[in-house]
Structure 1
Amino acid sequence: MQNGTDQRWDIFCRIVDNFGDIGVCWRLSQQLANTHQLPIRLFIDDLETAKKIIPGYQPELGTQIINHVEIWAWPNDDDAIQPAEVVFETFSCGIPQRYLSAMQPHTKWVNLEYLSAEKWIDEFHALPSPQASGLSRHFFFPGFTEATGGLIREPNIVAHDDAYKTNLAEQTLKISLFAYPNAPIEDLLKILQTSQQNTVVYVPSSSILPQVESFLGITQSNPNETYLRDKLHIKMLPFLSQDDYDT
């Protein structure tokens, strides 16, 4: 697949849970638009959830361009939208039928799969899946080997990571805690509490708050407040946009 500003790219995103879908799609869209100068349209089905992670996004204004990405609402069946030359279906979210019917034989249709370190994805990355319509959908597997699609990385991420690792042994261990509600959060916090190393756990506003509050022995935590248990510092965070969270 060749890059080129003469090719338009469409990315379809359905938000299921925990902001992972929109987080990946928004990061991918920005990377393609800003690092590779590609014209990107991002179609999202849950605009109210999306605005929590995209700074400045206001769904009531309709289609918007933010950080060089054109953000659209998920198409209805009666929306006549000209398909792009490259179409990304993320995490097998499906493509609206009318849009799919309008796709041409030369359209590059890619299904972005979940990141995995399993060995089998080396063999399945980039394989085609012929469709009854005559189109082929290719599977894109992000991963950690040269046989996979690699990772989405900002240009300065390696230098930033190297700087962070300098004298790492002398630094406080910092953990960003994000999980599903059924994860053993309290067990993890108990282990960190008894560790010999100072640890700071950052807890964004999410569905795991009840478990963290139970560990702390409180009924309601306050955003931006830090709770100390031995060498464990638990820092509560308000809900942040992706840019603010990265910072």
Structure 2
Amino acid sequence: MHDSTPLLTWDIFCKIVDNHGDLGVCWRLSAQLAAQGQRVRLWVDDAGALPWMAPGALEGHWPGVQVMPWRQPMSALDLEGLPLADVWIEAFGCEVPAEFLARFMPAVESTGQAPVWINLEYLSAESYVERMHRLPSPVLQGPAAGQTKWFFYPGFTPRTGGLLREPDLEARQAAFDRTAWLAAHQIAWHGERLVSLFCYEPKALGGWLNQLAQGPEPTRMLVTPGRAAAAVQAALSGQQAQREPPQWGSLSFSYLPYLPHGAYDELLWACDLNFVRGEDSVVRALWAGKPFVWHIYPQDDDAHHAKLDAFLNWLDAPGSLRHFHHTWNAISPEPLPVPDLPVWHACVQAARERLRLQDGLASQLMQFVAEKR
């Protein structure tokens, strides 16, 4: 942290929807702000994933980050003795609770110094992101009527808020030893192709596993726990892979436990091809620089189709990678193509180089707050 960087207190509000991504992004942001000397209170309504995602977080072992229970409704006891923060962040469409505003707005009105209030939006490569980034949003009703929120959009281009990136990420990856990491995680590896699987329930999964099993190249699938593992077991129902050791033709399986954030990065570095899902892991896949396929979060109105295509356009995805994404995300009924890993790798490497030229999300948020204060 530079001497000129003010030490501020940040309230970050995170409401869990149905997966780990919201908490993953909010935790990474909290940890990165704290690493730059900021004080963060992370308000979360379900912190059940933090013990494996960030061991020690609930016990207060991460300097600068305090995990706060977001009970609904908030009680006076939850807020007793807390000073007014310098920044309020509403992550992913959640709202600062009315009880919280009622507690702190008198102090805002008496001092005339309001926190910088940020609406941190979802990640997208669509064109509206650049138009909406940093725009004001007046608060028209409730205890905070008359205040202003600011839209802040993460993104992939210089006219957006950037992506979360730790300052030591490249150094960590450069020092990574794949063989030692696999051995430490008791993954039997004999030089075969390694593929990580973190997904929802793609309809194309069974066909993909069959393609690997019948293919000429030995492949080991490293399956993450939860929905991905359940999807694999459902796809393999009745197959030979249900036996021990798990093996089906050219395809073998290793089922992983939940991994802390740092170890998940290392999983991506260890693999030759990564399947990721949602927002947090696709960013980590980009920084890993390995070929990857993104299972975008599905929406009932199919709005994710345009969102995926905008991302593939930004990525400058070659035809085979675009085709694979469309089938994997149930946009196209065509069979999955055979991955062209050298071409996919070159594509991701070029995208990562573009991203390296931009400031990260945490740094941009700090710069924005400094401007508004």
TM-score normalized with structure 1 length: 0.79
Q: CA-to-partner distance for each residue in 1:80-135, whole Å, 9 max, x for gaps?
A: 34331111111011111122232435311111111112222111111111111111
Say what the alpha-carbon RMSD is for the aligned residues. 3.0
Q: Aligned equivalents of 1:70 and 1:46: distance in 2?
A: 14
The residue matched to 2:67 in structure 1 has which SS?
Answer: strand
Q: Deviations over 1:189-227 (max 9, x none)?
A: 2344445555433211112323211333469x99xx873
Are the equivalent residues in 2 in contact too, given 1:77–1:97 (CA < 8 A)?
no
Percent identical among aligned pairs is 37
Q: Deviations over 1:57-81 (max 9, x none)?
A: 44xx6xx342431111115143434
Which of 141, 144, 149 is the aligned partner of 2:156? Answer: 144
Give the 3-state SS of the residue equivalent to 2:27 in structure 1: helix
Give the 5 Å matches for 1:155-170: 155-159=167-171
1:111-190 to 2 correspondences below 5 Å = 111-132=119-140, 133-159=145-171, 173-181=193-201, 184-190=204-210
- Structure 1 runs not aligned, ≥5 long: 165-170
Q: What is the match of residue 62 of structure 2?
A: 66
Q: Is the 8 A contact 1:12 1:44 kept in 2?
A: yes
Q: Matches of 1:115 and 1:77 in 2, distance apart?
A: 32
How far is the alpha carbon of 1:9 from its aligned partner? 1.0
Shift of 1:151: 0.5
Kept after mapping to 2: 8 A contact 1:13/1:22: yes
Change (3 A) 1:199 1:53: same
After alignment, is 97-106 or 126-135 more displaced? 97-106
Separation of aligned partners in 2, 1:189 and 1:18: 24
Alpha-carbon separation, structure 1, partners of 2:211 and 2:261: 29
Name the structure 2 match of 1:168: none
The count of aligned residue pairs is 231
> Which SS does the other structure have where 2:68 is aligned?
strand
Q: Name the counterpart of 1:56.
A: 56
Q: Which amino acid aligns with 1:154?
A: E
State the match for 1:167 in structure 2. Answer: none
| Cα pair distance change 1:142/1:45, threshold 3 Å | same
* Residues 1:152 and 1:183: Cα distance change in structure 2 (over 3 Å): farther
Are the aligned partners of 2:51 and 2:57 in contact in 1 as well (CA < 8 Å)? yes
Indicate if the aligned counterparts of 2:220 and 2:253 stay in contact, CA closer than 8 A. Answer: yes
Q: CA deviation at 1:144?
A: 0.7
Distance 2:263 2:6 in 1: 29
Larger Rg: 2
Instruction: Measure the CA separation in 2 of the matches of 1:179 and 1:153.
Output: 22
Query: Counting helix residues as a fraction of each chain, which structure ranks higher?
Result: 2
> 1:127 and 1:197 mapped to 2: Cα distance?
51
- The one-letter code sitting in structure 2 at the alignment partner of 1:143 is G
Work out whether residues 29 and 42 of structure 1, in 8 Å CA contact, stay in contact via their aligned partners in 2.
yes
Unpaired runs of 5+ residues, structure 2, are: 177-190, 267-373
Residue 244 (structure 1) aligns with = 263
CA-CA distance at 1:14 after TM superposition: 1.2
Per the alignment, residue 47 of structure 1 pairs with: 47
Which has a greater percent of strand?
1
CA distance in 1: counterparts of 2:67 and 2:137, whole angstroms: 28
Match of 2:91 in 1: 90
